[in-house]
Amino acid sequence: MDPIPLTPILNRFVKDISAKAEFSGADGDVAERERANVAIMQKMYRAIIAGDLDRFQKFLTDDIEYAWYGPAEHPFTGTVIGREAVLKKVVSNYSWLDDQRPQIRIAIVQPTLVSLHAHETGKIRKTGRPYEVDFVQLFRFRGDRICQFESYCESTALMTALLEAGAGSGIATGQER
């Protein structure tokens, strides 16, 4: 995967995972685990931005499950299981997008879960058409690795832009459910 140009916007996105985090308020080991999860999220996104898939996959369990919920025609829709399948899916999804400008609204942090609520604008790489989307991403942790990733989005504008770029029915790679 090619590196995503590290703009100040993407750098802010990574920093905002901690700056906009709302922790459970627990003390001791639980609070430490929550802070560690935020640090893992930041490192994972930095690896994606750098196009460093070897480093990215180190944050995933072997049996990770990745699900993107949306209309069947949306090329991101589908569920894949396993590290290799997730890598292929992530590369495929990012290959559609350009000039991404995500903004975190809130990051809700618990000992085994981080929920990112965000807004993003950008362009479809193939056509240059702009898109805008609100989304929620749920990351479940097992120890120091992500074992489940789910994405939910209001995708009308993104879907319209992707269909104009030639997206067909869901492009899921790897093991589907």
Over residues 97-149, the pLDDT tens digits come to 889 899 999 999 999 999 999 999 999 888 899 989 999 999 999 999 999 99
User: What's the pLDDT score for residue 49?
Assistant: 85
Is residue 63 exposed (0-12), middle (13-18) or buried (19+ Cβ within 10 Å)? Answer: exposed
pTM, entire model:
0.84
Using DSSP's 3-state secondary structure scheme, residue 74 falls into coil
pLDDT band of 73, cuts 50, 70, 90: confident
Question: Where do the H-state alpha helices sit in 20-128?
Answer: 28-50, 53-57, 83-95
User: What percentage of the chain reaches a pLDDT higher than 70?
Assistant: 87
Q: Which domains does the chain have, with CATH numbers?
A: 8-164 (3.10.450.50)
Rounded-to-integer distance, Cα 168 and Cα 123, Å: 18
The mean predicted confidence, pLDDT, of the chain is 87
User: What's the pLDDT score for residue 112?
Assistant: 97
